[in-house]
């Protein structure tokens, strides 16, 4: 929704400093980098299955090999440590740890045990995400996130990992971007498992939230100190602020994209306007007595904020909607582009939106620490004749968004860290290997890693806590 920035929160172009305790990190996800898809007891995930559906992923790519991180983990950690980052946000592959959603797999657990030890040896703190979209295919075959049992299986999985790693991992995140899991996976079908079933996304969203609540309570009881969830937010602005239909469309997107997930976790209730908007879809039949209390029972200690761009929202339908809408009940919605730069993904570059978002979260949820857990951009990188990769557009993107974070802090927002997405070029979901987000280039034929100019810049920023002058 539209928010006006106070003068104190306008991004400054000159040199800027962050506090000494600000957390600097990089982030990845298991299916996007690990490879080793059928090794050491790992069974298929929904992404293994989905990527084999003709036309689902650009180029017919799969994550079978990805960045081969499973075999190159120690070298990758050394590379990461060499960049001077203090934190690594990674996710764990559920089908590696509990194949088919069943019994624990010692070989799979052992990989993450070694990863955590390697990180700590190199003075990099592990930030663990339990779920970054790779649901075991066997659980999807039983109904996936549209059925309640998946939430119970998630708790078993969380307990298994905490028993193995709880003595060394300081921060535990339950879910990454449940909006994507629910609505891209079960409503629009753009992501795994590829279901286009409208209200199924709402039922999946509820069970994802229930899984968060049940797992958070269990992890807290077992001694986890810092618990969080990571949500992908948008800043939904009406395309025409004078058009009541556009204003209402932006409100609906805000309800389905932002408030549907955060308000149950924080306040134990779904937004009243969301319930009214979606009443005709009949999805609340899956909400049982006590569910919302369970979702909010264990307060989160940190909110992970993923931000890439905002959205211009119109009630006027697009000429070419490009498939089912990811918003249940909003098939006539469109998101017209504005006069803003765009990344290789076609996403608008809107750093001031991040400032507005962080200030809004601070105002609406006072006392809740915020960390930007994903922010980055895909561009068409090229390896130069000297073997180097110069990526000035990505460097400028990171710089602008870090200035936006600094501006939000100046405006009072309690933002305590920033994780660049992504550490490595990787399997970019439905885009396969066609889009590169990494600050480290990966040659997928040779698996050679080459830090880009953005990596060297980010390394200096992380080591010093300072943004150099960009005004000249």
Q: How large is the average pLDDT for residues 295-321?
A: 92
CA torsion 68→74→76→81, rounded to 10°? Answer: 170
Q: Is the pLDDT of residue 136 over 50?
A: yes
Q: Is the pLDDT of residue 277 over 60?
A: yes
Tell me how far apart the terminal alpha carbons of the chain are, to the nearest angstrom.
33
Which of the four pLDDT bands, split at 50, 70 and 90, describes residue 13? confident
Mapped onto helix, strand or coil, the DSSP state of residue 142 is coil
- The pTM for the full model equals 0.97
Q: Is the pLDDT of residue 472 over 90?
A: no
pLDDT at residue 271 in the model: 98
Q: How large is the average pLDDT for residues 414-443?
A: 98
Residue linked to tokens 């306007």: 273
CA distance 418 to 428: 21
Q: How large is the average pLDDT for residues 110-125?
A: 98
CA distance 11 to 8: 9
Cβ contacts of 100-107, under 8 Å, gap ≥ 24: 100/43, 100/136, 100/137, 100/138, 100/139, 101/136, 101/138, 101/139, 101/153, 101/157, 102/138, 104/160, 105/40, 105/41, 105/42, 107/40, 107/41
Mapped onto helix, strand or coil, the DSSP state of residue 315 is coil
Which of the four pLDDT bands, split at 50, 70 and 90, describes residue 7? very low
Are 24 and 87 a contacting pair, CB within 8 Å? Answer: yes
CA distance 312 to 335: 5
Which of the four pLDDT bands, split at 50, 70 and 90, describes residue 9? low
Between 291 and 321, the more confident residue is: 291
Q: How large is the average pLDDT for residues 134-152?
A: 98
Strand partners, 304: 230, 371
Q: Is position 374 annotated as part of the catalytic site?
A: yes
Q: Is the pLDDT of residue 199 over 80?
A: yes
Mapped onto helix, strand or coil, the DSSP state of residue 176 is strand
Q: Considering 177, 352, 393, 428, which one is annotated as catalytic?
A: 177
Give the Å distances, CA to CA, from 173 to 71, 229, 360, 369, 422: 25, 5, 22, 14, 17
pLDDT at residue 5 in the model: 54
Are 43 and 78 a contacting pair, CB within 8 Å? Answer: no
Q: How large is the average pLDDT for residues 90-102?
A: 98
Per-residue pLDDT of 352-410, as tens digits, reads 999 999 999 999 999 999 999 999 999 999 999 999 999 999 999 999 999 999 999 99
Q: Is the pLDDT of residue 341 over 50?
A: yes
Q: Is position 10 annotated as part of the catalytic site?
A: no
Q: How large is the average pLDDT for residues 136-147?
A: 98
Q: Is the pLDDT of residue 232 over 90?
A: yes
pLDDT at residue 222 in the model: 98
pLDDT at residue 424 in the model: 98
Between 381 and 6, the more confident residue is: 381
Q: What token pair was written down for 361?
A: 């979260």
pLDDT at residue 322 in the model: 74
Average pLDDT, the chain: 96
Q: Which domains occur in the chain, in start order?
A: 7-464 (3.20.20.80)
Q: What token pair was written down for 104?
A: 């624990």
Mapped onto helix, strand or coil, the DSSP state of residue 389 is strand
Which of the four pLDDT bands, split at 50, 70 and 90, describes residue 432? very high
Which of the four pLDDT bands, split at 50, 70 and 90, describes residue 4? low
Are 418 and 22 a contacting pair, CB within 8 Å? Answer: yes
* pLDDT-above-70 percentage for the chain: 96
Q: Considering 348, 374, 393, 428, which one is annotated as catalytic?
A: 374
């Amino acid at each position: 929704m539209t928010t006006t920035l106070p003068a104190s929160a306008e991004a400054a172009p000159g040199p800027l400093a962050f506090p000494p305790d600000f957390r600097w990190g990089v982030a990845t996800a298991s299916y996007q980098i690990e490879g080793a898809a059928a090794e050491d007891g790992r069974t298929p995930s929904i992404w293994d299955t989905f990527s084999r559906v003709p036309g689902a992923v650009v180029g017919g790519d799969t994550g079978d090999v990805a960045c081969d991180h499973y075999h190159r983990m120690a070298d990758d950690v050394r590379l990461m440590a060499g960049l001077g980052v203090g934190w690594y946000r990674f996710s764990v592959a559920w089908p590696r740890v509990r194949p088919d959603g069943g019994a624990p797999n010692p070989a799979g657990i052992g990989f993450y045990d070694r990863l955590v030890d390697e990180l700590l040896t190199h003075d990099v703190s592990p930030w663990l995400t339990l779920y970054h979209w790779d649901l075991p295919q066997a659980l999807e075959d039983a109904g996936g996130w549209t059925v309640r049992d998946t939430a119970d299986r998630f708790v078993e999985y969380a307990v298994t990992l905490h028993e193995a790693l709880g003595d060394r991992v300081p921060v535990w995140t339950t879910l990454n971007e449940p909006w994507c899991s629910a609505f891209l996976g079960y409503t629009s079908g753009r992501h795994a498992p590829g279901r286009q079933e409208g209200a199924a996304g709402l039922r999946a969203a509820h069970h994802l939230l229930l899984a968060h609540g049940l797992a958070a309570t269990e992890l807290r009881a077992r001694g986890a100190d810092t618990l969080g969830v990571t949500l992908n937010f948008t800043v939904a602005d009406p395309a025409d602020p004078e058009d009541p239909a556009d204003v209402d469309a932006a409100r609906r997107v805000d309800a389905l994209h932002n408030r549907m997930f955060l308000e149950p976790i924080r306040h134990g209730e779904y937004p009243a306007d969301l319930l009214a908007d979606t009443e005709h879809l009949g999805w609340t039949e899956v909400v049982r007595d006590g569910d919302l209390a369970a979702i909010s029972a264990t307060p989160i200690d940190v909110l992970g904020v993923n931000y890439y761009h905002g959205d211009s929202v119109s009630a006027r339908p697009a000429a070419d909607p490009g498939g089912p809408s990811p918003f249940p009940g909003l098939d006539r919605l469109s998101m017209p582009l504005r006069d803003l730069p765009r990344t290789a993904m076609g996403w608008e570059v809107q750093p001031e939106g991040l400032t507005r978002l962080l200030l809004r979260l601070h105002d609406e949820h006072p006392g809740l620490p915020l960390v930007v857990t994903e922010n980055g951009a895909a561009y068409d990188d090229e390896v130069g004749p000297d073997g180097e990769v110069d990526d000035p557009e990505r460097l400028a993107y990171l710089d602008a968004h870090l200035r936006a974070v600094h501006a939000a802090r100046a405006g009072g927002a309690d933002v305590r860290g920033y994780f660049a997405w992504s550490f490595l070029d990787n399997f970019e979901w439905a885009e396969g290997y066609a889009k590169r987000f990494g600050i480290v280039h990966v040659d997928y034929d040779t698996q050679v890693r080459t830090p880009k100019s953005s990596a060297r810049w980010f390394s200096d920023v992380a080591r010093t806590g300072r943004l150099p002058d960009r005004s000249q």
